[in-house]
Amino acid sequence: MIIILFFFFLEVQLVPRDEYDLSHKILVLIGESGVGKSNLLSRFTKNEFNHDSRTTIGVEFSTRTVQLNQFTVKAQIWDTAGLERYRAITSAYYRGAVGALLVYDISKHLTYESTERWLKELYEHADPHIVVMLVGNKTDLESLRTVPTDEGRAFAEKKGLMFMETSALDSTNVEAAFNEVLTGESSIYAGLSSHRHDEAPCGISAHYCWSGRTALFK
């Protein structure tokens, strides 16, 4: 289930601790219905998992304040519905987001196959410098896996995305995924004046190589 954690209008704001002022940035979660976007959100913001999670209608959001290096980050994360009938509503929330998590379910290959469509739609509506992570969710279902890790990683590298596999159920890499996007967002915006996306380095804990928007859909 493609969860494009589109950082719910990931307007992540970074300010020194002594200047922190409640302003915020937005992230969005995006992807197919049922990939686990809502539980990724609740795990990151509340450390909770709902076994009876219902389908998101329209858009829902939650916030969390975290410390990244010397900065205080207040992230407002928007959980968007994955169903087609809500697409016109949810795409409007892409504008202004500084980061997104595009999520799929590792046990359902169709949700992975739709990630390219979600990515194209995101780039049509979002800021040109948005940071995107491809997230393979539900690693707790390893015995049912249909999307190999190497396949997801190769797609992310081809498209210039960060990449990570997670489990909202057992918390695996959830914290790391959100923090990597927030950290990547601050680095990209800080270096826009002197670096092109295709010159940025690759990450370590999460795989990402910026290739530039123009190369994404050749």
Tell me: the pLDDT tens digits for 66-85?
A: 887 777 888 888 887 644 54
- Kindly tell me if the per-residue pLDDT of 207 is higher than 50: no
Which neighbouring-strand residues pair with 135? Answer: 103, 164
Instruction: Quote the pLDDT of residue 57.
Output: 47
Instruction: Quote the pLDDT of residue 89.
Output: 52
Region of 96 (left: φ > 0; alpha: ψ -120 to 50; beta: rest) is left
For domain 4-215, say whether CATH 1.10.569.10 is its number. no
Q: What is this structure's pTM?
A: 0.74
Q: Which of 42-56, 149-163, 204-218 has the highest mean pLDDT?
A: 149-163
Instruction: Quote the pLDDT of residue 138.
Output: 97
Taking the alpha carbons of 113, 114, 116, 117 in that order, is the dihedral positive or negative?
positive
Q: Can you say how many angstroms the Cα of residue 87 is from the centroid of all Cα atoms in its chain?
A: 17
* pLDDT tens by residue, 147-181: 999 999 999 999 999 999 999 999 999 999 999 99
Give the integer Cα–Cα distance in Å for 107 and 181: 24
Q: Among candidates 190, 184, 188, 187, which has minimal Cα distance to 164? A: 184
Task: Give the gyration radius of the chain's Cα atoms.
Answer: 16
Give the integer Cα–Cα distance in Å for 213 and 161: 11
Region of 172 (left: φ > 0; alpha: ψ -120 to 50; beta: rest) is beta
Please name the helix (run of DSSP H) or strand (run of DSSP E) that holds residue 76, with its range, or none.
Answer: strand 71-80
Give the integer Cα–Cα distance in Å for 97 and 210: 18
Instruction: Quote the pLDDT of residue 212.
Output: 38
Q: Which residue has the higher pLDDT, 150 or 189?
A: 150
Percent of the chain with pLDDT over 90: 42
Q: Which residue has the higher pLDDT, 39 or 13?
A: 39
pLDDT class for 125, splitting at 50, 70, 90? Answer: confident
